[in-house]
């Protein structure tokens, strides 16, 4: 029993190592054009707005599992940089809708190109997993997500 627990702890530490690598990747720049770079976090925000059409800040916060304040800060930053436009919502006086500028669409395409290669490799590898392995993976991700949500909500 004790050896099994040690093996599980080792696997958990390996998963945490992968999570730290992924967090480092989030900090890497995405080259949009000559002398123009954005962070991967910014690129993900731009991509969400591009793929899902006009979004409000609340929708963006929900999409990424962050506070409305955090989403609003990212929106302000991207608007200042010229990647997104904020305009009054047609549905509510209290909300603004977010859409991409031409430079925002350029950033969206640049991110898709760099991210697309990684996603294609992940999908290819996952297609080789058995249904049982996929079920296990899904359950593990649910566990990690629940623990992360609890930790983030307790701060």
**E strands of 12-114, at which residues?**
29-33, 36-39, 84-88, 96-100
Token pair for residue 74? 């990212």
pLDDT band at 123 (very low <50, low <70, confident <90, very high): very high
Number of folded domains that form the chain: 1
Pick the more confident residue, 115 or 104: 104
Is 80 exceeded by the pLDDT of residue 106? yes
What is residue 136's predicted lDDT score, i.e. its pLDDT?
92
Pick the more confident residue, 105 or 4: 105
The model carries a pTM of 0.68
20 in a structural domain: no
pLDDT in tens, 38-77: 888 899 899 999 988 788 888 898 888 888 898 899 999 9
Is 80 exceeded by the pLDDT of residue 127? yes
5 in a structural domain: no
Please state, in angstroms and as integers, the Cα–Cα distance from residue 103 to each residue in 42, 51, 126, following that order. Answer: 13, 15, 33
What is residue 29's predicted lDDT score, i.e. its pLDDT?
87
Give DSSP secondary structure letters for 68-96: HHHHHHHHHHHHHTTSEEEEE-SS-SS-E
69 in a structural domain: yes
80 in a structural domain: yes
Is 70 exceeded by the pLDDT of residue 2? no
59 in a structural domain: yes
Q: Look up the domain containing 121 and give its range.
A: 29-154
Is 80 exceeded by the pLDDT of residue 91? no
23 in a structural domain: no
24 in a structural domain: no
Q: What is the CATH number of the domain that holds 39?
A: 1.10.10.10
7 in a structural domain: no
Is 60 exceeded by the pLDDT of residue 1? no
C-beta of residue 3 within 8 angstroms of C-beta of residue 76:
no
Distance separating alpha carbons of residues 65 and 135, to the nearest angstrom: 23
What is residue 152's predicted lDDT score, i.e. its pLDDT?
78
């Amino acid at each position: 029993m004790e050896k099994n627990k040690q093996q599980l702890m080792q696997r958990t530490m390996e998963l945490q190592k992968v999570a730290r690598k992924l967090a480092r990747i989030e900090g890497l720049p995405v080259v949009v054009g000559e002398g123009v770079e954005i962070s991967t976090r910014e690129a993900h925000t731009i991509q969400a707005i591009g793929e899902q059409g006009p979004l409000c800040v609340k929708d963006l916060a929900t999409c990424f599992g962050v506070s409305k304040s955090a989403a609003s800060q990212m929106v302000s930053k991207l608007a200042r940089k010229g990647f997104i436009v904020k305009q009054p919502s047609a549905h509510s006086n209290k909300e603004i809708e977010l859409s991409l500028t031409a430079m925002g669409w350029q950033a969206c395409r640049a991110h898709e190109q760099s991210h697309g290669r990684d996603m294609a490799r992940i999908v290819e590898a996952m297609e080789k997993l058995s249904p049982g392995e996929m079920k296990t993976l899904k359950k593990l991700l649910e566990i990690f997500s629940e623990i992360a949500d609890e930790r983030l909500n307790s701060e």
